[in-house]
Structure formats: structure tokens, C-alpha cells
Amino acid sequence: MGRKEITGQVERKQKPGWLKTKIPAGSDYFKLKKELESKGLSTICQSARCPNVCECWNNYNATFLVMGNTCSRNCLFCSVPNGTPTALDPDEASKILEMVEIMGSKYIVITSVTRDDLKDGGSNHFAGIVESVKEARPDLKIEVLIPDFKGDTRQLDRILKANPDVLNHNLETVKHLYSKVNRNQDNYHVSLGVLEYCKSKGSVTKSGIMVGLGESLEDLKELFGDLVEIGTDLLTIGQYLQPTGTNLPVEKYYTPDEFDELRRTALSIGFSDVSAGPFVRSSFQAQRMFNQCSDQINKRDKKRS
């Protein structure tokens, strides 16, 4: 099954001159690429065409994409292939652990495609990877960027039992644009429910959005408020970049100054930390954001004691 067509090839809005990314290069970049390919591991860095892949890989940082490279859903902003997913790899945890050792990682992010084809949404496989890696490397911090598991708390409990250090789940866009990106309108509240439930269980929670799909400032303020109301700690805000000609077109390119203003607005509402910028993605500077949040939690705990 191929990606749902919008109207064939969509004309791309011309990018502003200052919106430039580095062409993937560098010995460490190619060394990491070779190692990942030799183990058959996927990364969201490649699958989602992340603009930071050159910077991150040359610093030996990668976001692992587990449960295959084919998604059971078809969101029109995403370049991850959709269709019939592949079988789960029972050796995925050991392969990730090997890469962790090669990269000398102290903090990693693990995400996945959505697997609606599986009865448990893949939660047992995902959680098993986290548990295996943590057992081998108890000093390693792990952030998980999870699908919504249709809001099933049994599956969320399975993930939380694995004890990730950060529970990340993206809202992606404002509420009224869900139908535009080929998501059920109710999924906005399902996603809020996921974050609220995980926060109620004591998790550090995080979410991420894209801008440039046609949202207004008031839409964004409403989203910020919805996330803060349920206790979300961290937020990333990045520019939507049309990955292929059949994905949704960009409606607006935000300037760096506008991203700075969005960050200030979000922080004023109550997040512990916000990362905002044209190339910010869900796992961008993830360790720094976790450390910032941990410092704030420790300070609050000291004041209460």
C-alpha cells in the first residue's frame, strides 16, 4: 500500500534563504551509517528525513526506530512509509545495545512506528527493548517517544513498567488541523489522555509539535494550555518541512524571531523547558532538556522538604 495521494505532486513553497541544512558528510556520519545498516537498525533520523542528521550523527547521537520501518497509519505530514508492517525483530534490543556501546551513549531516544496491526500495538516488544537495554546499562538514560496505543492504559502500563526516564508523545499539530493531516479528530484528546495518564504515574512527560501547517497563534496558545493543564513538562516546537511532493505543503515558514517568541510564550504558560526553532525535532537536545527538567524538579523537592 502506498501513501495516500493528496492531489498528486504538491507544489512546494519556496524556502527562505536562511533555512539551510548541512549536507550529510563527515567520517563519523558515514561510520555510524555503516554500523546501523550492518545491524539492520532503522532510525527516525533517516526515515523522517530529519534536518539534524548530519549534526547528530557526527556527534554519535541517533534516535532508534523500532518495530520496523513501515507504519500502519498514513499521516500526511510524515515521510515514514505506510503499509503492511514487517515482522518484529527479536534481536532488536541486542542490536541497539551494540550501537549504544559503539556510540558511547549516556542518553538515547527510542521511538517506533505505529503498529495497529498488533493486538498490543507492539507495547510488549517496545517495553522489552527498554528493559533489556536498561538491565545491561543501568546508568543509561532512555527517553521513549511512543505512539498513542489507541489510549489503551494496559499498553501504557507495559511501557511505564520498563521505567523510561522520559515519556514523550507528540501532539504534532493543533486540534482543528487533525483532519487535515489525516488523523481522526478524536485522536487529539486520545494523545492528551496518554500524556495525562503517564504523568499521573509519575513520569517526566514531553510532547512535540510542528508549525507551518496553517495554525494561528491562538491555536498554539490553546495547545500549550492543554499540555500544561495535564502537567506536561517539556515541549519541542519545529518547522514543518514538506518531505516529499505527495506530503502536505508548507503554509508558512516561521522566522527565528517568531520561534523565540513561541518559546517565551510556552515557557510563560508553565513548561519546565521548551526547545523551539526551524530545525528542532522531538529528540533534538533531548539530554539537555531532560537535565534542565531534572534540575527544576530537584529544586522544587528541596523547597518542599
Residue 57 has pLDDT above 60, yes or no: no
270 part of a folded domain:
yes
The reply to whether 159 and 191 lie within a common domain is no
Cell, residue 75: 499521516
**In terms of pTM, does the model score above 0.85?**
yes
Does any domain span residue 14?
no
Q: Are residues 247 and 155 in the same domain?
A: no
- pLDDT on residue 98: 87
**Are both 149 and 50 inside the same structural domain?**
yes
Pair 202, 299 in one domain = yes
Classified as helix, coil or strand, 293 is: helix
Strands 42-43 and 63-66, bridge-based pairing: antiparallel
pLDDT reading at 280 higher than 70: yes
Residues 204, 262 within the same domain: yes
State the CB neighbour count (10 A cutoff) for residue 295: 12
Which pLDDT score is estimated for 53? Answer: 55
The pLDDT score that the predictor gives to residue 102 is 82
Q: Is the pLDDT of residue 148 over 90?
A: yes
80 and 143, same structural domain? yes
Same domain, 61 and 186: no
Q: How far apart are CA 163 and CA 128, in angstroms?
A: 11
CB-CB contact of 42 with 81 (8 Å): no
User: How much is the average pLDDT of 243-259?
Assistant: 90
Percent of the chain at pLDDT > 90 equals 58
186 with 115, same domain: the answer is no
Domain boundary among 135, 164, 193: 164
Maximum alpha-carbon separation in the chain: 61
User: Could you tell me the residue range of the domain that residue 123 belongs to?
Assistant: 21-164
Identify the band that residue 162 occupies on the pLDDT scale cut at 50, 70 and 90.
Answer: very high
Q: How many domains, in total, are found in the chain?
A: 2
**Judgement on whether residues 177 and 45 belong to the same structural domain of the protein:** no
Q: Which range has the top average pLDDT, 78-92, 146-160, 240-254?
A: 146-160
Q: Kindly tell me if the per-residue pLDDT of 5 is higher than 50.
A: no
pLDDT band, very low/low/confident/very high, at 55 (cuts 50, 70, 90):
low
Is 28 in the same domain as 159? yes
Q: What pLDDT, in 10s, does the model give residues 204-220?
A: 999 999 999 999 999 99
Cell numbers describing residue 100? 549504544
- pLDDT band at residue 221 under the 50/70/90 scheme: very high
Residue 11 lies in a domain: no
Contacts of 57 (CB under 8 A, 6+ apart): 24, 26, 28, 29, 32, 33, 45
If one compares 243 and 5, the residue with the highest pLDDT of the two is 243
One-letter amino acid for residue 111 of the chain: T
Report, as an integer, the average pLDDT of 47-66: 62
The mean of the pLDDT values for the chain is 86
At 64-122, the pLDDT tens digits run: 889 988 899 888 887 778 888 989 999 999 999 988 888 888 899 999 999 999 999 99
Q: Last residue of a domain, which of 115, 131, 164?
A: 164
Q: Measured between alpha carbons, how far is 89 from 91 in angstroms, rounded to an integer?
A: 5
Return the pLDDT at 4: 46
What is the pLDDT averaged over residues 16-41?
A: 65
Q: What is the pLDDT of residue 283?
A: 85
4 domain-assigned: no
Q: Of 142, 139, 64, 141, whose CA–CA distance to 96 is shortest? A: 64
51 inside domain: yes
pLDDT of residue 2: 42
Whether residues 97 and 60 fall in one domain: yes
Residue type at position 24? P
Residues 98 and 181 in one domain: no
Q: Is the pLDDT of residue 172 over 90?
A: yes
Domain edge (last residue) among 164, 182, 210: 164
CATH code where residue 252 lies: 3.30.750
